[in-house]
Every structure is written in C-alpha cells, then in structure tokens.
Amino acid sequence: MSLETQPPTDEAIDKFAGTLRGSLLRPDDEGYDEARTVWNGMIDKHPTLIVQCAGTADVIGAVDFARENDYPISVKGGGHNIAGRAVADDALMVDLSAMDAVRVDPASKTARVEPGVVLNELDHETQVFGLATPAGYNSTTGIAGLTLGGGWGWLSRKYGLTVDNFLSADVVTAAGELVHASEDENEDLFWGLRGGGGNFGVVTSFEFQLHEVGPTVLSGPIVHPFDDAKTVLEGIRDFNDGAPNDATVWCVIRHAPPLPFIPEEWHGRTVLIVATCYAGDMDEGKRVLQPVRDIGDPIADAVGPHPYTGWQQAFDGLAPAGNRHYWKAQNFEAMTNGMIDTFVEYGETIPTQETEIAIPNLGGAINERPVDATAYPHRDTEYMMSIHTQWVDPERDEECIAWTRDLHEAMMPHATGGVYANFVPEEIGDKRAAYRGNYDRLVEVKNAWDPENRFQLNHNVEPTA
C-alpha cells in the first residue's frame, strides 16, 4: 500500500467480507496462520488480508478491493511454488485453494479444472476414464502454478508440456473483468498465460486436452550404487539419444530413502536412481526399456506395471511440506562428459539426507513446437538439472544454499542460459533467463492487460505502458 493511500477502515473491510461467498481472514482470525502457510518452510510472510475464494465472484471482488485500496496482490493455488510467491507481507492474498472442482468430458477428452486443484485430484478424476494430461511428477503440486510456468512430467516427451495441452482459460483481469482466453479469443493473453506465470490475471478455470493413459503404465525406479554413477549416467545418455517419445528415463542422485524395495543396508547411503516411465504398449515398453535395466549392477529394480496415479505419487514423500527448500536449475541441449563429471563430484558432497540432484530427460514432443508457439521458450532443452536442496534445521540455511549455488555455478559452462521459471527460488528471479527471447512479447501482453503491474508478486514482467 502506497503512502498516499489510506488503509481501509474496519467498517469497509467488514462490508467487503459481507459480499463474499467464501471467507475473509485477518491476522488475528482463527485459521489465518494455516491459510498463509505454504509448502516451503523457509517462507514466513504475513498478508494483511486473506480472501478465501469460493468462486469467480469472490475473485473479482478481491481484485477490485485490492485495486481500490492499493494492496499488492498475491495468488495462492496449491501453495507449492519454491519461491513462495503465493504469500507476501502486507498484501491481499487471493486464496484459491477451495476452488477445487474438476469436470471431465470423456467424449471430447477434455477437462475443466479450477485453480485450487492439485495434481493427485486431477489424476483421480481423469483416470476413471483412462485419461490424463502431462502434469508434474509430484502429485501435491498445484495445477495453476505448474501450468502458468510451463509444466512438464512423465508424459511430456510423448504429449508435450502442460501448456501445450492447455486449451482455454477464464481469467479475472487487473480491471476486475472476467474474460475468456483461447487460440480464438484474446489470443495475446492466452499466449502469455502459457508460460508467462501469473503476470496477467487470476485464472479461475483451465481447460485441458486429455490423452488415453493407463490406468496401468510400465514404470518404476532402478537403484544403483553411487560408485557406478559415471558408468550409469553414460549408459542412460546413450539410451536417451535414441529413445522413442513414449520412453522417459530420468536420473536422481541422493541418499537412498528407506523404501521397502531398497535393501536396508543401503538406506541412507548415496545412490543413483534411474526413474523410468513408458507411456505406450506394455509389452513394447518392456522391450524398449530392457537396455536401461541391463546397465550396471543395480541394487534394486522395481520397474513393472504400476497404476499411473501411483507413479505420479511415488516421490511425494521425498519432499514433504514444511521442510526448508532451496532449488536451482539449469537447462542443457545435451549431457556432456563434463556434466557427468560434475554430477559425480557434487554427488559426493550432498549436504543432507533429503537433498537430491534430479536430471530429467525432456525433449521429444516438447521440442517439436516452435519457440514462439507459447510464452514458455525452452524448446531446445534435452536435459534439465534441478537441484532440490532441502533440510530441517534453520541453522543450516547458509551451508545448504551455498552448496546449491556452487553446483549451479559449476554447471553454467554446459548450460543454455535458460531456466524453468517454476524452479527459480528467489523472490526476484532472472526473468530474462526464464522468458528468454519471448520476454519482449510478454511485455506487450503485460502492457495490454496489466499496465499498472497489479500482478507483480511473481517472476515479474514489468510493463512499459
């Protein structure tokens, strides 16, 4: 709130609260602390007001009230964003978490999804019909933030990004108007929503294209001793170079979690986990993935038929809400020998049991679209490094952040210079790296739809209007 603007009176706030179908929380209200809490335990912010929206009318009312009283606006969907931008000091939080409806049309293979939905809720509804859309790899992630940043997961090599399957949106603009955006209506806004983050308004409904998936897919982890990491990474690189788009094979360096398929003597020791998923015929998948299973001498191999919903949730327990999280990410056009050497070097010094170096293999259908097809610009990325550093003790903040930044710096000579916006941990991220060559066009969209920068609590595209 600016110095020129007087804060609203208690009477004005009470009057506003009376217009809501949802609820309004102030700092002394029961439920306020729960509502302001997000997934990353490092984030501890105190908004002035929290509007818990029950529907689009509440969203419009919240945006209008914030604009009229010059409140900064933060928007909370699933609350999973690493930078914690869902909540800010002295802001008005638009809390969408109660808006969690999913409506599937199995005939058209589409779904209408509200912004409070998290991925396991979406999968629950779509998999009844044997359908899914590419969306993440941790099922507690919110669909809204995931989509607006780009979104990718186990199905992306076959079906593209989440935004490539995003068909239309209903959006509350900075002016408090509800508009529809698609390829045929408000096309500039729709382009910006597909990777430009929450810069242009509050999406109250997403429409997604669905695909026939599961309900059982060939998937599972293969666990190797870390001493074999170099050989295994080289073997996975060779496999991925010629892999069909149905196959997704990622690598993760971390301490072995105490999972039942991993021998107990390996629990807590550094390992390399190869995570596999085949989004096609089961028998063909067994044939295609066999070379991956033949690499090295694994400690455990749990590849087999698994429910798609189960595979989507397989790693949820490794990143619990409330831990302290700091991530860094890089994009790469290929996995070089130098990268492999650096992965091995830093894998030997992982600072905590919970930390992991994730190496997703992307490419495939993701890179078959032009760079300017959507605001998401990273259509040259074959591999990503996502450093998921997490810990519990605040006394270790400096140590863990420094290790993460050191590894990030060591990988820069191999990287494209781009970074996935959803993995930028700082409140003010490198917008040029996140949006790359599409940034100037995003500024044009911002000028048209939010010239006063009401939606700035994100990886912000600044208007010039």
Classified as helix, coil or strand, 203 is: strand
pLDDT of residue 431: 74
pLDDT of residue 377: 97
Task: Please provide the distance, in angstroms rounded to a whole number, between the alpha carbons at the two ends of the chain.
Answer: 21
pLDDT of residue 424: 86
pLDDT of residue 428: 64
Higher-confidence residue: 81 or 273?
273
Q: What are phi and psi of 255, to 5 degrees?
A: -75, 140
Q: Which amino acid is at 429?
A: G
Residues of the chain with CATH 3.40.462.20: 216-423
| CA separation for the pair 71, 65 (Å, rounded) | 8
Residues of the chain with CATH 3.30.43.10: 10-95
Is residue 258 within 8 Å of 283, Cβ to Cβ?
Answer: no
pLDDT of residue 2: 53
* Residues β-bridged to residue 218: 278, 305
pLDDT of residue 203: 98
Mean pLDDT of 45-62: 98
Is domain 10-95 in CATH 3.30.43.10, yes or no? yes
Query: Could you report the per-residue pLDDT of 132-173, keeping only the tens digit for each?
Result: 999 988 999 999 999 999 999 999 999 999 999 999 999 999
pLDDT of residue 4: 60
Q: Which amino acid is at 76?
A: K
Q: How confident is the model at residue 220 (pLDDT cuts 50, 70, 90)?
A: very high
With a pLDDT cut of 90, the percent of the chain lying above it is: 91
Mean pLDDT of 421-450: 89
pLDDT of residue 79: 86
Residue 219 CB: number of other CB atoms within 10 A?
A: 26
Residues of the chain with CATH 3.30.465.10: 102-212+436-449
pLDDT of residue 425: 80
Measuring CA to CA, which residue among 381, 215, 404 is closest to residue 328?
A: 404
| CA separation for the pair 33, 392 (Å, rounded) | 20
Q: From the CA atom positions of the chain, what is the Rg in Å?
A: 22
pLDDT of residue 1: 58
Residue 284 CB: number of other CB atoms within 10 A?
A: 14
Only one residue has tokens 């196959």, namely: 247
Is domain 102-212+436-449 in CATH 3.30.465.10, yes or no? yes
Mean pLDDT of 213-232: 97
pTM of the model: 0.95
pLDDT of residue 429: 65
pLDDT of residue 426: 75
Measuring CA to CA, which residue among 339, 341, 340, 370 is closest to residue 438?
A: 370
Least confident of 3-7, 381-385, 443-447: 3-7
pLDDT surpassing 80 at residue 299: yes
Q: 216-423 has which fold?
A: Vanillyl-alcohol Oxidase; Chain A, domain 3 (3.40.462)
pLDDT surpassing 60 at residue 3: no
Query: Could you report the per-residue pLDDT of 346-386, keeping only the tens digit for each?
Result: 999 999 999 999 999 999 999 999 999 999 999 999 999 99
Only one residue has tokens 């969408």, namely: 96
Q: Give the angle 249-252-255 at the CA atoms, nearest 5°.
A: 150
Q: How confident is the model at residue 81 (pLDDT cuts 50, 70, 90)?
A: confident
Measuring CA to CA, which residue among 291, 318, 289 is closest to residue 304?
A: 289
